[in-house]
Amino acid sequence: MTSLEPATTAAAESATPPRRRTGRPEWLPAVPFYAVCGLLALLFVAPVAWLVVSSFKSSAEFAQSPPTLLPTTWSLENYRRLLDAGLWQNVTNSLIVTAGTVVAASTLSVLAGYGFARFRFPGKGVLFLIVLSTLMIPFQSIVPSLYVILDALQLTNSRLGLVLVYTVFALPFGIFTMRAAFAAVPPAIEEAAIVDGAGSLSALRRVLLPIVTPGVATVALYAFFTAWNEFLAALIFTTRQQQYTLPVVLANLQTGAGGTLNWGVLETGAVFAALPCIAIFLILQRYYVAGLTGGAVKG
C-alpha cells in the first residue's frame, strides 16, 4: 500500500528541509490529534468493514433484531443465494462494460491528448472546446434523447451501448489529463525518434507512451470507477435483468423477489459492488490522487 501523497506535492516537499518547514508548532499535540482523527477515520472505514464482515452471517442472522456485531457462525449462505439468483451474469455484465470503458476511454484519450498537445491543425480550438463543453453540460440532462438515439441504434439492453455512454462520460477528463501529460514531455524526445524515421504513431507508441504511463493510469482508474458505479444510465438503458449491471440489479433485490426483501443477499450484493473499487483504490491510489489534484493546482 502506498501512502496517500500526491506525486506533485511529494516532489515539492522533498526539496525543502524535512522537519518543521513552517517553523510553527504542530497545531494540535499528539494525543488529542490522534484520538480525534483516529475516531473520524473509524467513522469512514467502519461501515464498509462491518458490511464485509456481516456478509458472512447467515441470512437469518443478518435479518436478526437487534443486530449482532460479529457473525455467531461464519457462513457463505448469502453468497450462495446471491449466485443462485444469477448474480454471476450481472457481475459479468459489470466486468465487461467496465473493461470496455477503460480500454476505449484510455485509448481515445491517449490519441486525442497526443493530437491536441502536439499538432497544429485547422479547427483544433473549436474541437477542443466541444470536448470541454461536455464537462459543463451534464449527461443527466440529455437522458431522454440519448435513450431515443440508443434505441434507434438497437443499443438499449446492450453492453456496447453502455460502454459508448460511459466512454463519453470519461473522455473530457481523460483528454484533458492526457493533453497535459503529453504537453509536459519535451518535444525533443519524439523529434529524435521521428528524425530516425519513425512515424507519429510509432513515436507515440514506442517513445512517448512509456513516459505518460502515470497519466494513462489516472484516466483508466477514473473510467473504471465511472463505469463500475454508474446507476442512472444503466437503470434507464437496460430493462432486462440479464443485462443489468451490479448497481441496478441491487435495486431489484431491494424490491425483493416475491415481495420479501432478503437483507443478507442485498447487502452481500453491495459487497460485490464496493470491494473491487476499494481494492483498486488501495493499490493505485497514488495515480488516482495525482490525477484528481493535478488539475486543481494548475487551475
User: Within 113-142, which residues bind another protein (CB under 8 A)?
Assistant: 114-124, 127, 130-131, 134, 136-142
Angle at 92 between CA 153 and CA 171, to 5 degrees: 55
Binding string to another protein for residues 75 to 114, with x set by CB under 8 A, is what? ---------------------------------xx-xx-x
- The window from 71-79, 81-89, 143-151, 209-217 that contacts another protein (CB under 8 A) reads 143-151
Angle at 21 between CA 17 and CA 26, to 5 degrees: 135
Figure out which of the listed residues 99, 198, 217, 292 binds another protein, where binding follows CB under 8 A: 292
Instruction: Decide: is 211 part of the binding site for another protein (CB under 8 A).
Output: no
C-alpha cell at 273: 459492488
Pick 48 or 99: Cβ nearer another protein: 48
Instruction: Decide: is 44 part of the binding site for another protein (CB under 8 A).
Output: yes
Figure out which of the listed residues 56, 228, 244, 287 binds another protein, where binding follows CB under 8 A: 228
Pick 96 or 235: Cβ nearer another protein: 235
Distance CA 59, CA 62 (A): 5
Figure out which of the listed residues 11, 88, 231, 256 binds another protein, where binding follows CB under 8 A: 231
Min dist. Cβ of residue 47 to another protein (A): 6
Whose cell is 510553527? That residue is 24
- The window from 73-81, 83-91, 211-219, 273-281 that contacts another protein (CB under 8 A) reads 273-281
Min dist. Cβ of residue 35 to another protein (A): 12
Q: Name the residue among 294, 298, 297 with its Cα closest to residue 286.
A: 294
C-alpha cell at 265: 443477499
Instruction: Decide: is 189 part of the binding site for another protein (CB under 8 A).
Output: no
Instruction: Decide: is 282 part of the binding site for another protein (CB under 8 A).
Output: yes
Phi and psi dihedrals of 205, rounded to 5?
Answer: -70, -45
Distance CA 41, CA 46 (A): 8
Instruction: Decide: is 11 part of the binding site for another protein (CB under 8 A).
Output: no
Instruction: Decide: is 6 part of the binding site for another protein (CB under 8 A).
Output: yes
Figure out which of the listed residues 11, 35, 60, 64 binds another protein, where binding follows CB under 8 A: 64
Instruction: Decide: is 176 part of the binding site for another protein (CB under 8 A).
Output: no
Distance CA 103, CA 178 (A): 14
